[in-house]
Amino acid sequence: MTEQNHHIVLVGFMGSGKTTIGNTLAAMTGLQHKDTDSIIEESAGTTISEMFRVQGERHFRYMETRTLEILADQQNVQMIYSTGGGIVMRQENQQLLHRLGIVVWLRIQPQTVIDRLGDDNTRPLLQGPDREQKVRDLIDARRGAYMASADVIVDVDGKAPQEIAAEILQQIGMEPA
């Protein structure tokens, strides 16, 4: 099935607030919000950290693509989907994201990520020394993929979730419920 869906899909770097904004948008629109990382954790019965540790990142990336395929093939009521920060890195995922609906990139500055995720221990890709450099390098490496995936870009630095959500709705031409 290659049908285009009409969901709102949030992409962006770790710490950009995809889950929070997904919940805020859900409250403002009455739509349901789901997160691809949570879908993967539920279906695998484990956490993302544990999956990285036991099966490796490759397996997680396979699960991410598989999840997008399943979601894109479902004929569903309109939903809000938030996604994992690295989902845009596979080209096939970029196509699947577009099939899911309108893709909103929550763009964040590296320093804001560093401030927000200073002591986070749930993101396997940010563990170990030199976290700041890791954030900067990963954002540099991913910027093009976010750009290629995005239909709409919203800068999140210094803004409250309500403000960001309102900006998204305005940009996609949707009224709050």
Chain residues in the site for ligand S3P (CB under 6 A) = 14, 18, 37, 48, 84-86, 123-125
Dist CA 154 CA 139 (whole Å): 16
Question: Nearer to ligand S3P by C-beta: 4 or 159?
Answer: 159
For residues 77-113, one letter each, b for 16 or more C-beta atoms within 10 angstroms of the residue's C-beta and e for the rest, the string is eebbbbbbbbbbbbeebbebbbbbbbbbbbbbebebb
Question: Nearer to ligand S3P by C-beta: 15 or 101?
Answer: 15
Least spacing, CB of residue 176 vs ligand S3P, in Å: 25
Least spacing, CB of residue 154 vs ligand S3P, in Å: 16
Closest CA to 10 of 66, 59, 125, 20: 20
Question: Nearer to ligand S3P by C-beta: 63 or 102?
Answer: 63
Least spacing, CB of residue 3 vs ligand S3P, in Å: 26
